């Protein structure tokens, strides 16, 4: 438990409060500002007066009052009557906080709006982190290595587009849902992967948190469960993936005691629940593969079969490459190499050459292996990858 109740409430309640206020106000900026102000009031009062019994409801009530003040001050009251009426409905009874806790959770509408395909992927990521995750603009800017001003502008433009283009604040109708949900999941996975190479993994943790929210809101969507499972299983190995000097440790060499056992168990249970829906999708299958790696021994035969299924759902040369690597583990490097050399279109892909180089190395074909490693070095490896490849070149 975190020591600061305001910070904890912020993490847990920011997205829900913003979503409720957007529904009432139809205005993203005003909603965001009002919730922000409510947390500022909380930071001042809670340490003095104690934490309210229902912090989330307290925040919504306070934010609502701030929004009402703002609308009154703006002297456009006559035009804002519908908004004021909706704000009043947020708290229909005397017992303010209890009333608010029964207000519908609008976060699902907010997620679908933030991840609307009419917005650029960069804008989707930034909006999701800002409005649902409650990250500040400087935090998002740092995570994506862009300037604060650039990120601030990206957020302003995205919100302007939502308003001007008439992007609706709602969960899409059933006929559009599968496609739109795929876009939401892709955005969350992109956030997760942006944090993957970062040891601190803050974005990965944020993506997992958002994945949990989505799972709570859509508990019967197997791909939602699949994505959360996939993220938990990948993230469970964070501590073991890099050695003390920041060098890459391959899966088979990782110190298993560094894996997060609780996270693995949770991921596994989620995969099982998801697969029971008998509607397998790419995230569920990738999670099932990740679960195979989480045991004491990876079951390579089963992994190959899972990659076969994944390829049928989502044909891509990168998936073929992963399948070939699994074939090499199941049936030996010769078989793996035959599969790799059948793949088209990956000549510019670093991991194609390192995977090939590794199989050639294991087959004792030293010169071909070195040529493949050198080709990989031309493809802008990260610092850790470069060290790994140079290590292989020096030692074989």
Contacts of 234 (CB under 8 A, 6+ apart): 192, 196, 204, 290
Closest CA relative to residue 389, chosen from 252, 266, 375: 375
Residues paired with 242 in a beta bridge = 248
Nearest approach, Cβ of 204 to another protein (angstroms)? 31
121 or 258, CB closer to another protein?
121
Name the DSSP letter for residue 132.
Answer: I
x/- map, 116-145, another protein, by CB under 8 A: x-x---------------------------
Q: Which stretch, 20-28, 59-67, 166-174, 189-197, contacts another protein (CB under 8 A)?
A: 166-174
For 8, 42, 44, the CA distances from 48, given in Å and listed in that order, are 17, 10, 7
HSE of 81, CA atoms in CB hemisphere, 13 A? 2
Residue 164 within binding range of another protein, rule CB under 8 A: yes
Residue 167 within binding range of another protein, rule CB under 8 A: yes
x/- map, 91-120, another protein, by CB under 8 A: -------------------------x-x--
Residue 76 within binding range of another protein, rule CB under 8 A: no
For another protein, which residue of 50, 166, 244, 296 counts as binding (CB under 8 A)? 166
Residues paired with 248 in a beta bridge = 242
Q: Which two tokens stand for residue 211?
A: 């994945």
From CA 273, how far away is CA 271, in angstroms rounded?
6
Q: Which stretch, 49-57, 163-171, 210-218, 367-375, contacts another protein (CB under 8 A)?
A: 163-171
Nearest approach, Cβ of 159 to another protein (angstroms)? 14
Burial class from Cβ neighbours inside 10 Å (0-12, 13-18, 19+) for residue 107 reads buried
Q: Which stretch, 81-89, 162-170, 205-213, 331-339, contacts another protein (CB under 8 A)?
A: 162-170
Q: What residue ranges bind another protein (CB under 8 A)?
A: 116, 118, 164-168, 172, 176
């Amino acid at each position: 438990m975190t020591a600061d109740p305001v910070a904890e409430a912020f993490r847990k309640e920011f997205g829900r409060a913003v979503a409720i206020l957007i529904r009432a106000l139809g205005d993203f900026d005003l909603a965001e500002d009002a919730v922000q102000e409510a947390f500022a009031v909380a930071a001042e009062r809670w340490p003095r007066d104690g934490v309210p019994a229902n912090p989330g409801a307290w925040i919504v009530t306070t934010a609502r009052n701030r929004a009402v003040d703002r609308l009154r001050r703006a002297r456009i009251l006559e035009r804002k009557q519908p908004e004021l009426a909706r704000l009043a409905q947020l708290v229909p009874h005397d017992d303010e906080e209890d009333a608010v806790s029964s207000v519908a959770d609008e976060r699902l509408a907010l997620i679908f709006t933030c991840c609307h395909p009419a917005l650029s992927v960069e804008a989707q990521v930034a909006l999701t982190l800002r409005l649902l995750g409650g990250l500040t603009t400087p935090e998002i800017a740092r995570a994506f290595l862009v300037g604060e001003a650039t990120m601030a502008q990206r957020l302003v433009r995205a919100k302007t587009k939502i308003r001007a283009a008439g992007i609706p604040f709602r969960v899409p109708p059933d006929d559009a849902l599968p496609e739109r949900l795929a876009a939401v999941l892709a955005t969350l996975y992109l956030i997760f992967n942006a944090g993957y190479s970062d040891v601190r993994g803050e974005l990965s943790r944020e993506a997992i948190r958002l994945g949990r929210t989505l799972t709570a809101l859509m508990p019967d969507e197997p791909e939602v469960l699949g994505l959360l499972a996939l993220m938990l299983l990948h993230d469970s190995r964070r501590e073991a993936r890099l050695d003390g000097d920041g060098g890459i440790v391959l899966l088979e060499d990782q110190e298993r005691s560094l894996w997060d056992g609780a996270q693995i168990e949770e991921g596994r249970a989620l995969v099982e629940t998801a697969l029971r829906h008998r509607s397998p999708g790419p995230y569920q299958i990738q999670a099932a593969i990740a679960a195979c790696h989480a045991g004491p021994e990876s079951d390579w035969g089963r992994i190959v079969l899972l990659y076969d299924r994944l390829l049928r759902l989502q044909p891509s040369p990168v998936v073929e490459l992963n399948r070939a690597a699994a074939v090499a583990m199941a049936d030996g490097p010769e078989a793996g190499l035959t599969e790799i050399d059948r793949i088209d279109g990956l000549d510019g892909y670093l991991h194609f050459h390192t995977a090939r180089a590794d199989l050639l190395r294991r087959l004792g074909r030293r010169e071909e292996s070195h040529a493949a490693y050198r080709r990989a070095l031309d493809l802008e490896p990260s610092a850790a990858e470069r060290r790994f490849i140079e290590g292989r070149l020096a030692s074989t």
